[in-house]
Amino acid sequence: MEYKDYYKIMGLDRGASQDEVKRAYRKLARKYHPDVSKEANAEENFKDLGEAYDVLKDPDKRAKYDQYGQYWKTQGQGYNPEPGADQQQQSQRYETSDMSGFEDFINTLFRQRNQQQQHAAYYDQGQDIHAKLNISLEDSFTGAEKTLQLQMPNLDGQGNMTQQMHAIRVKIPKGIANKQQIRLKGQGSKGHGHKPGDLYIEIHITPHPFFHIQGKNIFLKTPISPWEATLGATIKVPTLAGNVNLKIPKLSQSGKQMRLKGRGLPGNPAGDQLITLEIVIPTTDNEQMVKLYEQMAQLAQFNPREKLGVSHD
C-alpha cells in the first residue's frame, strides 16, 4: 500500500491543531478545486486533499494514522491512546456546522461552473442562423446572386459574445418558390473550438404588379374586348420569358381560364402560366358604338340573368 503523508499533503506539522487543519483545507480546496483551479494535476491533488482531510479532521482516525501510518485502517482497530496523550485532543470532534459556510462556497462554485459549462456548450457547438431574403419574381425565374447583410453573434477568445456585420453572397437557384429555404452549410455562428453552424435563408418573393404565384404556377388576369371574346382572336400576353401569342376561342366568357404549359417557374417539372380572361367594356362615349350596341341588343335577344330566374324586360 502506498504511503501518503497526509500532513505533507496539507502542508501541516504533526502537532497542528484542529483549527489549523480546517484552515489549511479551506485554503487548499480553493486552490485545487477542479472546477476553478488552473493548477496542474488539480483533480488528483484535490482528491488527495479530501482523503487527508477526512483523516486529520477526526481525532480518532488521526491518532490511528499517527501510530500505524498507511495501515491505520486495519491495524488500528484495537488502538488505545497512551496514558500521557492529550485527552482534550482525543475527545475533540469535528462539527459539520463549522464548515457550513465553506460548503456553501463550494456549492456556489459548482453552480457557477455548471452555468459556465452550459453557456460555453451552447456557443461551442456553433449555432444555426435563420434569416429572410426578399427577391423579385424575375429573380426566381432567372436565378440571381444577392448580398445579404447579417448581424451575427461572434465568440471571441475570452468567451465574450459580440455582434458583427457579415456580408454573405447568396446564389438564388432558378425556380425557387416563395418561403422556400436555402441552406448555407458552415455559414452560421462560429463555435469556440468547434465547427460553425449553418445559415438558413427563407426566400420571400415580393408581390408583382400583375403576376400572382402559387407554388410554381403563375397566374395572370388578362383583359379582352367584347368583340375579341365574341369573334375569337389571337392576342399577345406577357410571361416571365417575354410576350407570347394566345389564341382566344370564339364566344369566350369572362372568367374562362387558359393554360400556357411550362411557362411558370422553372423546375422538374416546370410550372404553368394560367390565364384568366376578363371582358372589358370600352369607356369611350362614341355615338356610333352606342348605335351598334343597340342593334346587338335587338338582334341577340340575350338574357344573361336567365339562370337566376329573372326574365328579360
Query: pLDDT for 299-309, tens place per residue?
Result: 888 888 788 87
User: 3-state SS of 236-301?
Assistant: EECCCCCCEEEEECCCCCCCCEEEECCCCCCCCCCCCEEEEEEECCCCCCCHHHHHHHHHHHHHHC
pLDDT in tens, 57-110: 999 889 888 888 877 777 645 444 444 444 333 333 334 344 455 555 555 555
The rounded mean pLDDT for the chain is 80
Half-sphere exposure of 218 (CA within 13 A, CB side): 30
Of residues 118 and 237, more confidence is placed in: 237
The owner of cell 362615349 is 285
Q: Give the H or E element holding residue 176.
A: none
SS3 12: coil
Dist CA 60 CA 4 (whole Å): 18
Average pLDDT over residues 247-261: 95
Task: Output the pLDDT for position 297.
Answer: 84
Degrees to nearest 5, angle at CA 45 with 43 and 47: 70
Q: Which residue type does 281 have?
A: I
Q: How far apart are CA 33 and CA 10, in angstroms?
A: 14
| Long-range CB contacts for residues 182-186, cutoff 8 Å, separation at least 24 | 182/133
Segment 112-128 mean pLDDT = 55
The H or E element containing residue 115 is: helix 100-124
Find residue 200's DSSP bridge partners: 130, 183
Strand ranges (DSSP E) for 99-232? Answer: 129-135, 144-155, 161-172, 181-184, 199-205, 211-214, 217-224
Task: List domains and CATH numbers for the chain.
Answer: 6-121 (1.10.287.110), 129-205 (2.60.260.20), 211-305 (2.60.260.20)
H/E stretch holding 114: helix 100-124
Q: Quick check: helix, strand or coil at residue 209?
A: coil
Is residue 15 scored above 80 in pLDDT? yes
Per-residue pLDDT, 205? 95
Write the pLDDT tens digit of every residue in 132-181. 999 999 999 999 999 988 877 665 665 566 777 888 899 999 999 999 99
225 has pLDDT over 60: yes
CA–CA separation, 262 and 69 (whole Å): 92
Closest of 49, 62, 48, 51 to residue 18, by C-alpha = 62
pLDDT the model gives residue 247: 96
What is the reported pLDDT for 154?
65
Predicted pLDDT at 307:
82
Residue in the structure block whose three cell numbers are 371574346:
229
